[in-house]
């Protein structure tokens, strides 16, 4: 099972569960993630009447990666001989980011290790990002001829235009503290070992807030920062996907992969 989920105590938890591949996102991973996000949306629907008479099942979503990484990005190995897969992956990523953004309840990411390229873009769809100090975040994708434009609508809403320009064009990989300063993350834990404990405490604190007040706040934030403007996400995703149409991506990816194998 590449993506697991569970719901209890008003928390819906999603776990990317392919640690052997550093939770790289390929066709099967995206299909599983979309399914779990649909279930999360149902769990967050406060119009649903549950068996105990209460409404809804979750007031917060937590997403994390199993193992030593959150997600290393796309499954690039599958693109070596099928570079056209890049366009498909980009559109699937855009869909996942929008689905996270559209959830009516707070979404909190717990990030250990790498959250790079597409993995970092997933974080932009979240409301809060808790990272370990030794995490690695960023968009080092120009070296394989890919534009991170797909992440810009959500990231700009979070970090602002200046920081978004710096991290998407600069391509630097940032540790946890630098990621907070750049707007890629919200909080950094004191130590790598305390990440889970601190994130759980933050989730517990969020659950003490008025759930309807938080829903209303998120709804208006999404409305005013452009998160609900589908055209912005579609156009930037198409710009990133266009890399698959030329030779730059396939040749640069192959050269990168060959160098990596030496």
- Are 72 and 223 in contact by the 8 Å Cβ rule? The answer is no
- 53-62, pLDDT tens digit by residue? 555 689 999 9
Q: Does domain 3-193+228-260 have CATH number 3.90.226.10?
A: yes
Phi-psi region of 22 (alpha: psi -120 to 50; beta: other; left: phi over 0): left
For 133, which DSSP code? T
Domain ranges for the chain, please list them. 3-193+228-260
Whole-structure pTM value: 0.94
What's residue 258's pLDDT? 83
Nearest to 98 by CA among 249, 202, 236: 236
CA 127 from chain centre, in angstroms, equals: 10
Model confidence over 134-166: pLDDT tens digits?
Answer: 999 999 999 999 999 999 999 999 999 999 999
Look-up of token digits 């434009």 = 149
User: With contact defined as beta carbons under 8 Å apart, do 30 and 56 qualify?
Assistant: no
């Amino acid at each position: 099972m590449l993506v697991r989920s569970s719901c209890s105590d008003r928390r819906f938890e999603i776990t990317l569960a392919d640690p052997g591949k550093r939770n790289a996102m390929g066709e099967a991973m995206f299909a599983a993630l979309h399914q779990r996000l649909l279930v999360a949306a149902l769990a967050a629907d406060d119009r649903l009447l549950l068996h105990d008479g209460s409404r809804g099942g979750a007031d917060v979503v937590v997403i994390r990666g199993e193992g030593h990484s959150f997600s290393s990005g796309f499954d690039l190995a599958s693109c070596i001989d099928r570079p056209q897969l890049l366009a498909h992956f980009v559109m699937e990523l855009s869909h996942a980011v929008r689905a996270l953004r559209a959830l009516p309840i707070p979404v909190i990411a717990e990030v250990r290790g790498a959250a790079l390229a597409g993995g970092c873009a997933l974080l932009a769809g979240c409301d809060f990002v808790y990272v370990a100090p030794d995490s690695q975040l960023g968009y080092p994708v120009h070296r394989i001829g890919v534009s991170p434009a797909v992440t810009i609508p959500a990231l700009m809403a979070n970090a602002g235009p200046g920081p978004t320009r710096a991290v998407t064009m600069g391509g630097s990989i940032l540790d946890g503290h630098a990621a907070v300063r750049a707007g890629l993350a919200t909080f950094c834990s004191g130590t790598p070992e305390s990440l889970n404990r601190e994130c759980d405490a933050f989730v517990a604190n969020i659950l003490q807030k008025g759930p309807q007040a938080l829903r209303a706040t998120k709804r208006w934030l999404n409305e005013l920062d452009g998160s609900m403007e589908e055209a912005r996400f579609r156009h930037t995703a198409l710009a990133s996907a266009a890399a698959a149409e030329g030779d730059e991506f396939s040749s640069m990816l192959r050269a990168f992969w060959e160098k990596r194998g030496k």
